[in-house]
Structure 1
Amino acid sequence: MEFDYVIVGGGSAGSLLAARLSEDPTMNVCLLEAGGDGKRILVRAPLGMVAMLPGRPKINNWAFQTVPQPGLGGRRGYQPRGRALGGSSVLNAMLYVRGHPSDYDDWADAGCDGWGWSDVLPVFRRSENNIRGADAFHGDAGLLQVAEQRSPRPISRAFVDAASEVQIRRNDDFNGPEQEGAGLYQVTQFWRDGRQGERCSVAAAYLHPVMNRPNLKVITGAHVTRVLMEGFRATGVAYLAGKVEQKVIARAEVILCGGAFNSPQLLMLSGIGPGEHLRARGVEVAKDLPGVGQNLQDHLDYIYAAKTRDTDVLGLGAVGAYKLIRDIFRWRRDGSGIVASPGAEGGAFLKSDRALARPDLQLHFVAALVDDHSRKLHMGYGYSCHVCALRPYSRGDVGLNGPDPSLPPRIDPKYLSDLRDADLMLKGARITRKIMDAPSMRKYRLREVYTRDGMEDAELMDHIRARADTIYHPVGTCRMGRDAMAVTDPQLRVRGFERLRVVDASVMPTLIGGNTNAATVMIAEKAADMIRASARG
Structure 2
Amino acid sequence: MQGTELDDAGAFDFVIVGAGSAGCVLANRLSAGGLHSVAVLEAGPEDRDFWIHLPLGYAKLFRNPRVNWMFETAPESELNGRRVYQPRGKVLGGSSSINGLVYIRGQREDFEHWRQLGNSGWSADDVLHYFRRAEGNIRGADDQHGGDGPLGVSDPHTHELTEAFIAAAEHEGLPRTRDFNGLVQEGVGYFQTTSRNGRRCSAAVAYLHPARKRQNLKVFTDALTDRVILSDGRATGVVFRRGGIRQVVHARREIILAAGAYGSPTILQRSGLGPAELLSSHGIPVIHDMPGVGSDLQDHLQARCVVRCTKPITLNDMTTSMIGKVRLGLEWLLTRSGWLTIAAGHAGAFFRTDARLASPDVQVHFIPFSTDKMGDSLHPFPGFMAHVCQLRPESRGTVRITSSDPGAVPEIRMNYLSAETDRATMLAGLKRLRAIMHAPPLRPYFAAEVEPGPDAVTDDALMAHIRAKASTVYHPTSTCRMGSDPRAVVDSGLRVRGVDGLRVADCAIMPTLVSGNTNAAAIMIGEKASDIILADTKA
TM-score range, shorter chain: over 0.9
Is 2:146 the counterpart of 1:139? Answer: yes
- The alpha-carbon deviation at position 420 of structure 1 amounts to 1.2
- Secondary structure of the residue aligned to 1:449 is strand
Aligned to 1:8: 17
Q: Is the 8 A contact 1:63 1:79 kept in 2?
A: yes
Q: Is the 8 A contact 2:297 2:478 kept in 1?
A: yes
Aligned to 1:308: 309
Q: 1:318 to 1:121 in 2, by over 3 A?
A: closer
The one-letter amino acid of 2:194's match is T
CA distance in 1, matches of 2:65, 2:316: 22
Is 2:83 the counterpart of 1:76? Answer: yes
Aligned to 2:178: 172
Map 1:2-401 to 2 at 5 A.
2-53=11-62, 55=63, 57-149=64-156, 151-190=157-196, 196-315=197-316, 319=320, 321-375=322-376, 378-401=379-402
CA distance in 2, matches of 1:320, 1:171: 36
CA distance in 2, matches of 1:177, 1:238: 44
Is 2:474 the counterpart of 1:469? Answer: no
Q: Is the 8 A contact 2:304 2:451 kept in 1?
A: no
Q: Is the 8 A contact 2:362 2:391 kept in 1?
A: yes
Q: 1:309 to 1:59 in 2, by over 3 A?
A: farther
- 1:356-391: CA deviation from partner (whole Å, max 9, x where unpaired): 110001000011113332337532231110000000
Q: 1:375 to 1:271 in 2, by over 3 A?
A: farther
CA distance in 1, matches of 2:335, 2:293: 47
The one-letter amino acid of 1:265's match is T
Aligned to 2:3: none
Q: Is the 8 A contact 1:343 1:367 kept in 2?
A: no
435-444 vs 103-112, which moves further = 435-444
The one-letter amino acid of 1:23's match is A
The one-letter amino acid of 1:158's match is A
CA distance in 1, matches of 2:320, 2:391: 37
Aligned to 1:519: 521
- Secondary structure of the residue aligned to 2:402 is coil
CA distance in 2, matches of 1:152, 1:41: 25
The size of the alignment, in residue pairs, is: 529
CA distance in 2, matches of 1:439, 1:121: 39
- The alpha-carbon deviation at position 205 of structure 1 amounts to 0.6
Q: Is the 8 A contact 1:80 1:472 kept in 2?
A: yes
Q: Is the 8 A contact 1:311 1:319 kept in 2?
A: no
- Secondary structure of the residue aligned to 2:206 is helix
- 1:7-65: CA deviation from partner (whole Å, max 9, x where unpaired): 00000000110011110312000001011122331011001101111x1x424111100
Q: 1:95 to 1:317 in 2, by over 3 A?
A: closer
RMSD: 1.4
CA distance in 2, matches of 1:231, 1:467: 50
Map 1:491-506 to 2 at 5 A.
491-506=493-508
Q: 1:281 to 1:442 in 2, by over 3 A?
A: farther
Q: TM-score, length-normalised on structure 1?
A: 0.96
- 1:401-458: CA deviation from partner (whole Å, max 9, x where unpaired): 1221101121101000112101110001100100000122222122222323461100
- Secondary structure of the residue aligned to 1:240 is strand
Q: TM-score, length-normalised on structure 2?
A: 0.96
Alignment counterpart, residue 508 of structure 1, candidates 507, 510, 518: 510
CA distance in 2, matches of 1:376, 1:65: 21
Query: Gaps spanning 5+ residues in structure 2: where?
Result: 1-9
CA distance in 2, matches of 1:438, 1:325: 35
The one-letter amino acid of 2:525's match is I
Q: Is the 8 A contact 2:52 2:97 kept in 1?
A: yes
Aligned to 2:488: 486
Q: Is the 8 A contact 1:189 1:198 kept in 2?
A: yes
Aligned to 2:4: none
- The alpha-carbon deviation at position 318 of structure 1 amounts to 6.1
323-332 vs 524-533, which moves further = 323-332
436-445 vs 502-511, which moves further = 436-445
The percentage of counterpart residues that share the same residue type is: 45
- 1:107-135: CA deviation from partner (whole Å, max 9, x where unpaired): 00000000001111111111111111111
Aligned to 1:456: 458
CA distance in 1, matches of 2:96, 2:329: 21
CA distance in 1, matches of 2:538, 2:321: 57
The one-letter amino acid of 1:40's match is D
- Secondary structure of the residue aligned to 1:75 is coil
Q: Is the 8 A contact 2:44 2:66 kept in 1?
A: no
402-411 vs 419-428, which moves further = 402-411
The one-letter amino acid of 1:279's match is S
Aligned to 1:193: none
CA distance in 2, matches of 1:41, 1:377: 21
CA distance in 1, matches of 2:279, 2:317: 48
- Secondary structure of the residue aligned to 2:437 is helix
CA distance in 1, matches of 2:321, 2:264: 41
Q: Is the 8 A contact 1:299 1:470 kept in 2?
A: yes
Query: Gaps spanning 5+ residues in structure 1: where?
Result: 191-195
- 1:483-518: CA deviation from partner (whole Å, max 9, x where unpaired): 100000000000000000000000000011111111
